[in-house]
Structure 1
Amino acid sequence: MSSSLIRRILHPTRKPKPDSTISISLFTTVSSPPSDHSNPLISDVVSVLTHHRSKSRWSTLRSLHPSGFTPFQFSEITLRLRNNAHLSLRFFLFTRRYSLCSHDVDSCSTLVHILARSRLKTHARELIRLSLRLADDDEDKETDRVSRVFRSLIKSYNRCGSAPFVFDLLVKSCLDSKEIDGAVMVMRKLRSKGINLQISTCNALISEASKRRDASTGYKLYREVFGLDHETRADEAKKLKPYVNTFNLMMVSFYREGETEIVEKIWREMEEEGCSPNAYSYNVLMETYCSRGMMMEAEKIWEEMKLKRLELDVVAYNTMIGGLCRNLEVTKAMELCKEMRLKKGIECTSLTYDHLVKGYCKAGDVDSAMVVYKEMKRKSFEAEGLTIEALVDGLCGGDDDEGRVVDAAEIVKEAVEFYPSRKCYELLVKRLCEVGKMERALKIQAEMVGRGFKPSGETYKAFINGYGSVGDEETSALLAIEMADALKLRGEDDEEEEELQ
């Protein structure tokens, strides 16, 4: 398998005539240096490594070869140790620790192959990343570092008896190093010779391109990788078939970018490819419909999941509950929540409570929102910032109920890792002043200033009116003067800033 793979990389499509020499290859030079079996140094080192005890072999090597080894000598030694990948790796670490070899891309590539054929994938990827760093210092300026490493791996592939997935490890290492263009280059060169990467590697490549570039870039790469726009060497390469995870990652990418209509397009393509969606696929499509307010379509997806007996887990329930709450169908959402707990035995998560609290606040039912919030706190869940702001807005936006305003202030005070917005602070200050809680309002205002929010005209007016309503006309008058001075100074600062700009 290894030999046939490398021949497909190195040789042209057309079969050569008998006795002809193949000189066309993927790179300018692909032949490995001849093995030096007669070199006594290599034989001695191999003998020491294989026959000495582990405690003595390293000290023996340091005493026999204090000047160390060339990269070529290291490669030849590890080639003789190819059936003992762990020993080869320890020898490499030994040379690095005592600076006994100035490793280059080629010496690392030899070890990468040996590690790969023994399925030591993590160590192989670490070596590839080192090779990429070493390639930066390479004197060969005609090619980038990924091409340099790729060429080296091909050059030593046959001699090391490597495994085809070594190129998958290279692509994944490129992605680890944010070398997306390099990863794409490797994929294209292999595919042009009729060689496909593993589907998991293809998915990782598409996913990283979507995250670091955009979803459209990932989608174009998907069509190229799976040969959907044109066939590449169809006579040599079995066409890859995407599976459900491929479509899922693309749907998620487009959903995150707000391209919800394209999510539906990807769903249709998945069906056309004969790929069966899983529960995660349905959740993504359901969330897409919910975000667009298309609850009838979302509920159809929900029912289809039931018919297909797909697992309705907490993610699925939270998706539907969140969609119903955003679209003011809180009663339905609460029924679904009860079904989740009583019939399915699935406990609510922090996200479930967040959805319900915000849903009730949006529907104007702040009392029910508080009931859910208190249950949430009893179960030691912390509400997210938007949930707390929705509660504060709901509690402060109604009638002049002193208790509700105090509740809102307490919620903000007790919230863990919550940083209120200017709007939240100003709303609290205004309502506390309206109900005469001036001392509490001053504490909120002091915290507001401490967070970098300067008092606005609305904040001053709230305090002026508040002190006036409790009969403290003197403080109210002083604040009016301070407000005029502050706003005047702020106006001058704004004018000066405009002139500088």
Structure 2
Amino acid sequence: MSIPLLKRSLWLIPNSTFNLPFSPSFFSSSPAAVPSPSTKPSISTVVSVLTHHRSKSRWRFLNSLCPDGFDPGEFSDIVLQIKNNSHLVLRFFLWTRSKSLCNHDLVSYSTVIHILARGRLRTLAKDVIQTAIRATALEDGDDCSKCERFSSSRPLKLFETLVKTYKQCGSAPFVFDLLIKALLDSKKLDPAIQIVRMLRSRGISPQIGTLNSLILWMSKCEGANAGYALFREVFGLNCEIEEQNVKVKARVSPNVHTFNTLMVCFYQDGLVGRAKEIWDQLADSNSIPNSYSYSILMAVLCEEKRMGEAEELWEEMKMKKLEIDAVAYNTIIGGFCKAGNIRRAEEFFREMELCGTESTFSTFEHLINGYCETGDVDSALLVYKDMRRKSFSLNHLMLEAMTRGLCAETRLLEALDIFGFATEDANICPTMETYELLINGLCQEGKLEAAFKLQAQMVGKGFKPNSKIYQSFIDAYSKEGNEEMVKKLREEILEIQLS
């Protein structure tokens, strides 16, 4: 049985600060949670070694002094005595973990987290929070059902321990923001929301940047409407909320970044009307719209091809002397390109260059697609050359648009040149239509060997030859008068269609 002809070619992809009204009942620590300062000689000796020995000999001496290591309570006692040296605490913590000299529990983890927070080592504190959550996950065992059951309770237990150890460690209020952000980084949305609710039930609000991140994650996971509902809850906009028989009001107000987040989420969900509603709420608030706020609203207007209103908004930005950045220029350039008014888009592009605003990938993407849509492939080529000078590469859709435009004008060699340069980037996977256009062009010019090689490359990218590809080869062989090849290809395509 002969190998199918086409198959044979297979050989040939800014946070604000706040003061927490810590109540004694909320942050009272129990003796079981944090051991009282010890006067045991071994503790004092360890502290002395840590603070007075040279770093080169310190760890070796400690290892010989305490070969059996420390229990979590002893570790907490030690680091509390050197809490003013947060870097030393971190090194001691990492040393005990690397040498397996302490089986850390939530209390010892919390002590380290608090000390790092009070030392303003935010990123390191967040890393230890994530370590604590992972470590307690292992303590729950390897049973998957059990791990899932405790996946939410582990962060809550860490939160409770952080609360109990807060005062003794002399921590900083944003330690709870770090916990919430660490949970969001780990995609643990539910416990993050629960912790915010527990804080607010006691009249405490996380920082506004933390709340904005929470709203963004909720919108990504559950949709913009769910994000908006959370926004109203965490900022106390549903009048007063009642939790644990205590009425509390929001301690912070939404800022311009909050409203921008909501507008972007509604816009990305295709709910442009809701995005406009958020703009109206922003205008009625104490926050002042910034350049990004205007860019989002312009994107909404451009989506609806209301370019006259978009230009009015542009003039308002100028009147208010707001900084017009690349995002704003790209928004209005893209709007005019999609509306088919490429000349107006060119005017804004020239203005962008004259005022010294650097073009971005999106600028070139809008212009190339706009020129190709209007059939002006020569202008698209000029933009493409400028794009290459600035070290940008085409994406798969831009490559398809330029290939279609050049092939329509039978400029196959230029299309192949652009295709070859674009596919040097391993991350670019051309579309099926791009291959169809180029293979068809090669077949029409009788360059069958090159067409087979390109078809092999196409199959290597995961595409299968379709009826358009077969027809291109059939037409080429018919033109040559090779009826035997035409017959074989027709049989092969029939076999594929029936399988």
- Give the TM-score taking structure 2 as reference length: 0.86
Q: Which residue of structure 2 aligns with residue 395 of structure 1?
A: 406
| Contact 2:236/2:249, CA 8 A, preserved across alignment | no
Q: 1:491 pairs with 476, 489, 497, which one?
A: 497
**Contact 1:429/1:444 (8 A) holds in 2:** yes
Aligned counterpart, 2:77: 76
Matching residue of 1:309: 321
Is residue 2:378 matched to residue 1:371? no
- Report the CA distance shift for 1:192/1:461 in structure 2 as closer, same or farther (over 3 A): same
1:161-200 alignment runs, 5 A limit: 161-200=170-209
- For residues 238 and 420 of structure 1, the distance between their equivalents in structure 2, rounded to whole angstroms, comes to 51
User: Please, which moves more after superposition, 76-85 or 176-185?
Assistant: 76-85
The match for 1:5 among 2, 7, 22 is 22
Closer/same/farther in 2, CA of residues 39 and 387 from structure 1, 3 Å limit: same
Q: Counterpart in 1 of 2:277? A: 265
In the alignment, which of 306, 312, 324 is matched to residue 336 of structure 2?
Answer: 324
> 1:158: how far off?
1.7
**How far 1:378 sits from its partner (Å)?**
4.7
Q: Secondary structure at the match of 2:206?
A: coil
Aligned to 2:356: 345
User: Would you say the 8 A contact 2:435–2:458 is kept in 1?
Assistant: yes
User: Taking structure 1 as reference, are residues 152 and 285 closer, same or farther at Cα in structure 2, changes over 3 Å only?
Assistant: same
Q: Which residue of 1 aligns with 2:369?
A: 358
State the one-letter code of the partner of 2:382. Answer: V
**Equivalent residues in 2 for 1:456-467, closer than 5 Å:** 456-467=466-477
Counterpart Cα distance in 2 of 1:8 and 1:447: 69
Q: CA deviation at 1:379?
A: 4.7
1:168-247 correspondence runs (5 A): 168-232=177-241, 239-247=251-259
Deviates more, 1:231-240 or 1:484-493: 231-240
State the partner residue of 1:280.
292
Asked if 2 retains the 8 angstrom alpha-carbon contact of 1:283 and 1:319, the reply is yes
Q: 1:208 offset after TM fit, Å?
A: 2.1
Measured at CA, do residues 177 and 331 of structure 1 come closer, stay the same or move farther in structure 2, by a change above 3 Å?
A: same
Alignment RMSD (CA, Å): 2.8
Residues 323-361 of structure 1 show CA distances to partners (whole Å, capped at 9, x for unaligned) of 11111100111111122223x133433432222221122
Contact 1:340 1:347 in 2 (8 A): yes
Give CA deviations for 1:109-151 in whole Å, capped at 9, x if unaligned. Answer: 1121122112122221122112212322456998810111011
* Change over 3 Å in CA distance of 1:55–1:287 after alignment to 2: same
CA distance, structure 2, for counterparts of residue 3 and residue 243 of structure 1: 20
Matched, 1:420 2:430: yes
- Change over 3 Å in CA distance of 1:115–1:442 after alignment to 2: closer
Aligned partners of 1:292 and 1:185: how far apart in 2? 39
Query: Which whole-Å CA distance do the structure 1 matches of 2:20 and 2:48 have between them?
Result: 29
TM-score by length of 1: 0.85
Q: CA deviation at 1:443?
A: 4.1
Note if contact 1:30-1:151 (Cα within 8 Å) is conserved in structure 2.
no
| Change in 2 beyond 3 A, CA 1:422/1:62 | closer
The alpha carbon displacement at 1:10 in A equals 5.3
Contact 1:460 / 1:480 at 8 angstroms: preserved in 2?
A: no
Is the 1:135–1:148 Cα contact (8 Å) retained in structure 2? no
2:115–2:171: 8 Å Cα contact kept in structure 1? yes
One of 485, 488, 497 as aligned partner of 1:482: 488
Name the stretch that deviates more: 83-92 or 116-125. Answer: 83-92
Mapped contact 2:83–2:115 kept (Cα < 8 A): yes
Tell me if the contact between 2:35 and 2:77 (Cα under 8 Å) persists in the aligned partners.
Answer: no
Q: Which has the larger radius of gyration?
A: 1
Q: How far apart are the structure 2 equivalents of 1:30 and 1:184?
A: 29
After superposition, the Cα gap between the structure-2 partners of 1:45 and 1:483, relative to the gap in structure 1 and judged at 3 Å, is same
SS in 2 for 1:454: coil
1 CA distance for matches of 2:249 and 2:284? 22
Deviation string 1:264-320 (CA, Å, 9 cap, x unpaired) is: 111111112221111111111112221222212221221111111111222211211
Q: 1:107 to 1:6 in 2, by over 3 A?
A: farther
1:408 aligned to 2:418? no
Give the stretch that moved more between structures: 357-366 or 32-41. 32-41
* Cα deviation digits, residues 440-494 of structure 1 (max 9, x gap): 544433433443433333333333333444xx21x2x12321122112211331x
Instruction: Specify the code of the residue in structure 2 equivalent to 1:411.
Output: I
- CA offsets, 1:73-98, max 9 Å, x none? 11111122222222222222222222
Deviation at 1:30, TM superposition (A): 8.7
Amino acid at match of 1:385: H
Aligned length: 468
Tell me which amino acid in the other structure corresponds to 1:425: Y
- How far apart are 1:373 and its partner, in Å? 2.9
Alpha-carbon distance between aligned partners in 2 of 1:429 and 1:150, rounded to the nearest angstrom? 62
Relative distance call for 1:227 and 1:31 in structure 2 (3 A) is farther
Structure 1 residues 298 and 103: alpha-carbon distance in aligned structure 2, compared to 1, 3 A threshold: same
Task: Among all aligned residue pairs of Structure 1 and Structure 2, give the percentage whose two residues are the same amino acid.
Answer: 46
> In the aligned structure 1, how far is the partner of 2:89 from the partner of 2:389?
57
Change (3 A) 1:251 1:62: same
Q: Which residue pairs with 1:61 in the alignment?
A: 62
User: What is the alpha-carbon distance in structure 1 between the residues aligned to residue 19 and residue 432 of structure 2?
Assistant: 65
Which whole-Å CA distance do the structure 2 matches of 1:4 and 1:453 have between them?
62
After superposition, the Cα gap between the structure-2 partners of 1:113 and 1:129, relative to the gap in structure 1 and judged at 3 Å, is: same
By how many angstroms is 1:254 displaced?
2.0
Q: Are the equivalent residues in 2 in contact too, given 1:2–1:161 (CA < 8 A)?
A: no
- Give structure 1 stretches of 5+ with no counterpart: 12-24, 494-501
Q: 1:149-177, CA deviations, whole angstroms, 9 ceiling, x for partnerless residues?
A: 01111111121122221111111111122
Aligned residue number for residue 92 of structure 2: 91
Structure 2: give runs of 5+ residues left out of the alignment.
Answer: 1-17, 141-145
Q: Sort the Cα spacing of 1:68 and 1:489 in 2 relative to 1 into closer, same or farther, 3 A.
A: same
Q: Which of the pair has the greater relative contact order for Cα pairs under 8 Å at 6+ separation?
A: 2
In 1, distance between residues paired with 2:475 and 2:76? Answer: 84
CA contact (8 A) 2:443 2:451 kept: yes
Query: Secondary structure in 2 aligned to 1:333?
Result: helix
TM-aligned CA deviation for residue 241 of structure 1: 0.7
